[in-house]
Amino acid sequence: MPGADPGTTDTVQCWDRERGCAVAELIPHESLLRWLYGSVSGRLAAELFCSRHLFSCLATRWSHGSGSRRRIESFIRQYDVPMADYEPVTYGSFNDFFVRRFRHDTRTFCESPQRLPAWAEGACLGWDRVMGTETFPVKGEHLSGAALLGSDEKAAAFTGGPLLIIRLRPQDYHRFHFAEGGSIVDHYRVPGRLHSVNLLSLRHRSDVLVSNERQVTIQQTARFGRLAYVEIGAMLVGRIVQQGIEDVTRGSEKGYFEYGGSTVALLGEPGAWTPDDDLLTRTADNMETLVRLGTPIAAAAGERPDANMDRRQSIQRQFGATAERYRTSSYHSSAPDLTALCVAAQLQGSEHVLDLGTGTGNTAAAMARGAAHVVGIDLTPAMLEQARGLARDQGIDNVTFEEGDAQALPYEDDSFDLVTCRVCAHHFADPGAAVREAVRVLRPGGMVLWVDSVAPEDPAQDTFLNCIELLRDASHVRDYRVSQWLEMFVAAGLTATVEGAWPTDLPFDDWTQRMQTPEPEQVVLRRLFDGATAQIRDAFRVRTSPYAFDIPITLLRAS
């Protein structure tokens, strides 16, 4: 955990990114915090009085008074505040000093459109995927988008996505900004208490970030997808002031915290962006990293230098080890959706077909029986070897298998009469790009047949399905809703319709063994099955003796 064991009095430390070393953190009111959160009587006082709004209101009255100015100079000396970085103004109260602004030339937002800048300045933690099973590195508290956002429905789009948390220390800049331009989709307040967010209190009560008062803003951006900004109140915080939710551009000021340290969080959609490696590494080592406002801290999907390689290697690693199981899988070779896909194709014997994410070639082989020629493309060489073996065993000679990426096809425009994609699109980091590529290589009058597991439109059911999929398979990105797929095809210039839907029975042991899911993840999966609500059980026909469930499969036809 950051700095020390919960039961010790060791110095709290953070990693200074610019200086390349660990630095100690001074903790205001340390003895009071140790009593409030480290003793029975203190915890009672915190619960009954100090975490309530009245207590913070009293502090607000002091911090706004002119007499509070006397604290400014000693605070600057105690915390070594670099006042040369801030506007040279006269402060009428300690709160005026607390919400001070940087000089315009001391902080700039990175200009690279592929890089996501720090929207606040402070001690940062980062995760590339949050499914509700990760633990906050203070006391083992589980992180959950639903808990942070105060809503299962609002959190559904962010399940399995990245999360950044920045803790604003007392000496830090206490204004927060927009990381990117875009339209505001929603803004709301989540009521709660006002516990301290200092690490000393978090060590003893790690649910603070999801039980304190919060304000949430959801923004739609072009480059980084949907972003959820969360401002988390804290003990002594007078107000969370929002002042910039119109005409939003990268770096525009969003608001500020009045007197009192606090925390901000940023959630993203799965696969949209990834926090920088150094933040992920330090977080895994239970240490925060000090970041400066405007400096790059994450990269858009596919833009981090090794992002495409990471994704390819993840898929190749996952499926290379399990390729033979997929070739012999009864579902992949003979499921109802494959039969329906063959019927919908209406092949006449003259068509040239492209099968995206062909895997072990079951769909390509089925298409080859009625087409002139089929090309199956996949990222994983081991899967392609299995596909070639399947074609040889079945005497099929009008199919070729090639290594490649469905999101960047190596084919010319207007090359195929039919493009198929069966039960693999949930692995695409950028499904919209795959749809656009399918449309690009399609000849005029051609057709796309798209089969995949889909999330229900209900947010809680969406969250449950994607959570168990991610736990079972680390290369999973997202099961999208039918409505989302329809929107992607419209955006690419085609109209799509639902041709069929099937609830497919998945026995737990077969489902996990096919992907070689590690035992710890299987334990968590069983717990999720055991704790599923009645609505979830009904939606997916969840069973626990033996464990099994139904996954929704849908066939879309686009032309």
Q: What is the pLDDT of residues 92-101, one digit of tens each?
A: 998 899 899 9
Q: Is the peptide bond before 546 cis (omega within 30 degrees of 0)?
A: yes
- Closest by CA to 293, choosing from 140, 166, 453, 443, is 166
Q: Is the per-residue pLDDT at 91 higher than 90?
A: yes
Q: Is the per-residue pLDDT at 309 higher than 50?
A: no
Cβ neighbours around 541 below 10 Å, total: 13
Q: What is the pLDDT of residue 443?
A: 97
- Closest by CA to 96, choosing from 107, 108, 87, is 87
Q: What is the pLDDT of residue 138?
A: 41
> CA-CA distance, 356 to 379, in Å (whole number)?
10
> What are 375's strand-pairing partners?
354, 400
What is the tens place of the pLDDT at every residue in 381-417?
888 999 999 999 999 999 999 999 999 999 999 999 9
**Local confidence band at 305 (pLDDT 50, 70, 90 cut-offs):** very low
Q: Is the per-residue pLDDT at 433 higher than 60?
A: yes
The amino acid sitting at 389 is: G
> CA-CA distance, 148 to 248, in Å (whole number)?
23
DSSP line for 80-128: T--GGGB-----SSHHHHHT--B-TTT------TTEEEPSS-EEEEEEE
> CA-CA distance, 546 to 522, in Å (whole number)?
14
The amino acid sitting at 302 is: G
For the CA atoms of the chain, what is the radius of gyration? 27
> CA-CA distance, 267 to 290, in Å (whole number)?
19
Question: What is the location of CATH 3.40.50.150 in the chain?
Answer: 309-456+475-505+550-558
> CA-CA distance, 385 to 488, in Å (whole number)?
32
68 in helix, strand or coil? helix
If one compares 431 and 321, the residue with the highest pLDDT of the two is 431
pTM of the model: 0.64
- Closest by CA to 494, choosing from 459, 452, 448, 451, is 448
Q: What is the pLDDT of residue 501?
A: 95
If residue 324 lies in a helix (H) or strand (E), which one and from where to where?
A: helix 323-327
| Displacement of CA 446 from its chain's centroid (Å) | 35
- Residue reference for tokens 């959190």: 155
In the chain, pLDDT over 70 holds for what percent of residues?
79
Q: Is the per-residue pLDDT at 512 higher than 60?
A: yes
Q: What is the pLDDT of residue 46?
A: 59
pLDDT mean over 423-451: 94
546 in helix, strand or coil? coil
> CA-CA distance, 283 to 327, in Å (whole number)?
39
What is the tens place of the pLDDT at every residue in 173-186?
999 999 999 989 89
The amino acid sitting at 143 is: L
CA distances in angstroms from 542 to 245, 507, 514, 525, 550, listed in the order given: 42, 10, 19, 12, 7
Please tell me the class of the 309-456+475-505+550-558 domain: alpha beta
Choose from 211-225, 261-275, 310-324, 425-439 the range with maximum mean pLDDT: 425-439
The amino acid sitting at 109 is: F
If residue 520 lies in a helix (H) or strand (E), which one and from where to where?
A: helix 519-530
Question: Of 4-18, 32-46, 132-146, 518-532, which gets the smallest average pLDDT?
Answer: 132-146
- Closest by CA to 364, choosing from 372, 356, 373, 355, is 355
Joined together, the tokens standing for residue 166 give 């920045």
Question: Of 191-195, 221-225, 475-479, 487-491, which gets the smallest average pLDDT?
Answer: 191-195
**Local confidence band at 4 (pLDDT 50, 70, 90 cut-offs):** very low
What 3 state SS string does 302-314 have? CCCCCHHHHHHHH
Question: Of 57-66, 311-320, 343-352, which gets the smallest average pLDDT?
Answer: 311-320
> CA-CA distance, 47 to 285, in Å (whole number)?
31
**Local confidence band at 44 (pLDDT 50, 70, 90 cut-offs):** confident
What is the average pLDDT value for the chain, to the nearest integer? 84
421 in helix, strand or coil? strand
DSSP line for 20-38: TEEEE---TTHHHHHHHHH
Helices (H), 335-422: 336-345, 362-368, 381-393
